[in-house]
Amino acid sequence: MYILIIRGRFGLRRYAWIGLALLFSTATYCIIAGVPEFAPQVVESSQITIRGTGYQSAYTNRGPIFIDSDSDFSSYGFPGTGDENTPYRIEGYNITDSNFELIVIENTEAFFVIQDNYLDSIIGSLDAIYIRNAKNGQIFNNNIVNNRHGIFLDSDCQEIEIANNKIWDSSESGIRVNSSGSVRVYHNEVYHNTYNGIWANSSIGLEIWNNIIYDDELGIWLRNTNNSDVIGNTLFGNDNAMWISNHSSSNEINFNRIFDPDDLNPNTCGIHISHLAYDNNILNNTISNCTEHGFYAELNSGNNTIKWNTFIGNNMGGTSQAFDGASENVLYNYWSDWTTPDDDFDNIVDIPYLLEGAVMNNDPYPLTHPANPPEFHYLTPVTLLHPNGGEAITDSVVVEWSTCYDSRDHPVNYSIYYSHNSGADWTKIAGNITSTQYEWDTSSELKTTHYLVRVIAKCSEGLSVSDESDGEFSLIAHILTDPTITSPDNSGPFETSLNIQWDVAVDSWGYSVSYSLHYSSNGGSSWSDITFGLTGNSYQWDIEELANGDNYVVKVIASADGGVTSEAISVTFSIQHTTTSTTPTTPTTAPVIDTGLIGFASGGIAVIAAVVILVILFKKRSTGET
């Protein structure tokens, strides 16, 4: 699923292979992000003519070929007339030589074809095909091995096509284009070359598309190369899959597959931009599983647009899949490690994706799904979010993880496991989960500080990815500390009331705590209730009705949810009530009384009484006479 934009001697021609998925996603994301400046023509692949049908199995041995003018083609007796319809043909040869370049063509304008040859320089110090200042050439279906450069176009080569060749074990570059233009390089397999798969320098108007390039130091290197198209190539196992540098500008780097289809031989870096490369469009590429960054822009590049690309699982040991030191135009890309949240359901993650680099650039509109779904089947990485290390877990924990996306839209289920011994053993918590969180009841699990959690995402066809906690976490036992009674703190005595006070008990799981109070008058042999359900840490106790005693104690019982309790007992104290009463005052020494005086007094009283009686009778008699 890629678009080919071809600039050649036949004018501006645009070819496209676009699957239904790409058409759908393009329609969707054009609404979000706008449309490209070009409108490619959609054609079937059968409409594109690829000359040559395969590699020859039998060759004719011959020595090196040196062409320095159009007439030299006839001098060698090669078939053809040199016009466009009947080009000179150099074909079917086995040229193996370690002393000379194998095929050299310079200073020609006649049409020629080099096809179906086996070219081997043996020691890798000379070029297999060297072309300088030539036009109208086609190089098809050759096997080229053990050369310095497999194919070298040098100094003003124009209208050259290089297609369907197999080039490997070059000591420098598989294909090298220098100071040339209008060169098409397509459908070649270029691999295991010491430096570069395809190297272009000081050139313009190149079309490099649908090549397979692997196990080179640099897959494709554009150096001071402008207005060129690098489209639909597959690159893997290279140190840098693509490097755009040294004033390269106005290039289209689109729909390339920068990953190993078998996921065995990743690139180190995906696309690298440096040395004043500017105004390049890097669009709709799939860059996956690079051991370092999927995209890397150095400080001295600028105004390059990185848009609608799919970044999957690159630089997994770092904090971002891309590095930007130049504040490039990075937007509307899919980042496999950044797919949520999307609370407004607009297919754009609500939080920008931060890139590494001192300028702190970001993709402000990261996509929740790839704009152009990759052709290979993959699951995006799943990331365990919580618990992820350092947590202290009480009775339960919500295990959370990121959404895992299946490139073929298969349903994805999740399973979660725990280890209590730093990963030595794993126990399943739950499986067949379709959401991205699960509440794990840890109340009955062993309490240690060495727990890890693992989440495994698996699609319906069995493809799976997983992630674990970054660090260990703890499961805490449910413990309630003892309250500490601070009053009474002495033996008393206390008479009418007592203020009971205590320091609060602490629940290790953070549950609320309540208290009940009790007393004993016999030193704790038996208990009676005072009150229940207290949430504070003091209580004023009325003790007026209690009997006096010297062996009183109080007890505070703390209780928390989950059935845990703790308690404390006070010091022994006494209760003594004060009683109020009235008593006569008695002298301490009785006086001595004279018995004679007592007798006189008694007699005198009798005389006085007799006198009083006589007076009363006398008055009554006098009254009666009157």
Q: Domain 384-475: give its CATH code.
A: 2.60.40.10
β-bridge partners, 11? 8
Residue 322: per-residue pLDDT: 97
276 has a pLDDT exceeding 50: yes
Residue 498 tokens read as: 């007592």
User: In whole angstroms, what is the distance from residue 188 CA to residue 380 CA?
Assistant: 30
- CA–CA separation, 386 vs 438, rounded Å? 10
Give the pLDDT of residue 618.
Answer: 52
What's the mean pLDDT in 585-599? 45
- pLDDT, residue 262, reads 75
Residue 183, CA distances (Å) to 76, 142, 491 in order: 26, 17, 106
Fold category of 484-575 in CATH: Immunoglobulin-like (2.60.40)
* Residue 413 exposed, middle or buried by CB count within 10 Å (0-12, 13-18, 19+): middle
Name the pairing type of β-strands 234-236 and 257-258: parallel
Give me the pLDDT at residue 340, please. 83
User: What is the rounded distance in angstroms from the CA atom of residue 502 to the CA atom of residue 500?
Assistant: 7
At 224-257, the pLDDT tens digits run: 999 999 999 999 999 999 999 999 999 999 999 9
pLDDT of residue 26: 39
Residue 408 has a pLDDT of 83
Which pLDDT score, from 0 to 100, does residue 558 have? Answer: 96
Confidence at residue 606, expressed as pLDDT on a 0 to 100 scale = 52
Domain definitions of the chain by residue range: 384-475, 484-575
**Mean pLDDT of the region 150-173:** 97
pLDDT bracket for residue 18 (50, 70, 90): very low
Query: Each residue of 387-438: pLDDT tens digit?
Result: 999 999 988 999 999 888 888 889 999 999 999 999 999 999 999 999 999 9
- Bigger pLDDT: 19 vs 608: 608
DSSP 3-state assignment of 430? strand
Q: Determine contact, residues 411/346, Cβ cutoff 8 Å.
A: no
DSSP secondary structure letter of residue 225: -
Does position 27 have pLDDT exceeding 60, yes or no? no
Average pLDDT score, the chain: 86
pLDDT of residue 216: 96
> Is residue 364 scored above 90 in pLDDT?
yes
Take residue 412 and report the two structure tokens written for it: 């994805």
How remote is the C-alpha of 535 from its chain's centroid? 44
Q: Tell me the pLDDT band of 55, cut-offs 50, 70 and 90.
A: low
pLDDT value for 100: 95
Which of 506, 507, 508, 505 lies closest to 475, judged by CA? 508
**Residue 598, both tokens:** 């007592």
CA–CA distances in Å: residue 457 to residues 312, 398, 460, 488, 502: 16, 17, 10, 61, 52
Q: How far apart are CA 164 and CA 239, in angstroms?
A: 24
Q: Do domains 384-475 and 484-575 have the same CATH topology?
A: yes
Q: For residue 22, is pLDDT > 60?
A: no
Low-confidence winner among 178-187, 196-205, 598-607 (lowest mean pLDDT): 598-607
Using pLDDT thresholds of 50, 70 and 90, give the confidence band for residue 589.
very low
More confident residue, 7 or 214: 214
DSSP string, 302-322: B--EEES-EEES-STTSS-SE
Q: Tell me the per-residue pLDDT of 171-182, one tens digit each, with 9 for 90 and over.
A: 999 999 999 999
Rg (CA), the chain: 50
Tens digit of pLDDT for each residue in 479-502? 899 999 999 999 999 999 999 999
Convert the pLDDT of each residue in 535-576 to its tens digit. 999 999 999 999 999 999 999 999 998 789 999 999 999 999
Q: What is the pLDDT of residues 304-316, one digit of tens each?
A: 999 999 999 899 8
pLDDT band for 34, please (50, 70, 90 cuts).
very low
Q: Give which of 354, 359, 247, 267 is closest to 313, Cα–Cα.
A: 267
**Predicted local distance difference test score (pLDDT) of residue 395:** 85
pLDDT of residue 330: 97
Predicted pLDDT of residue 621? 53
CA 296 to chain centre: 19
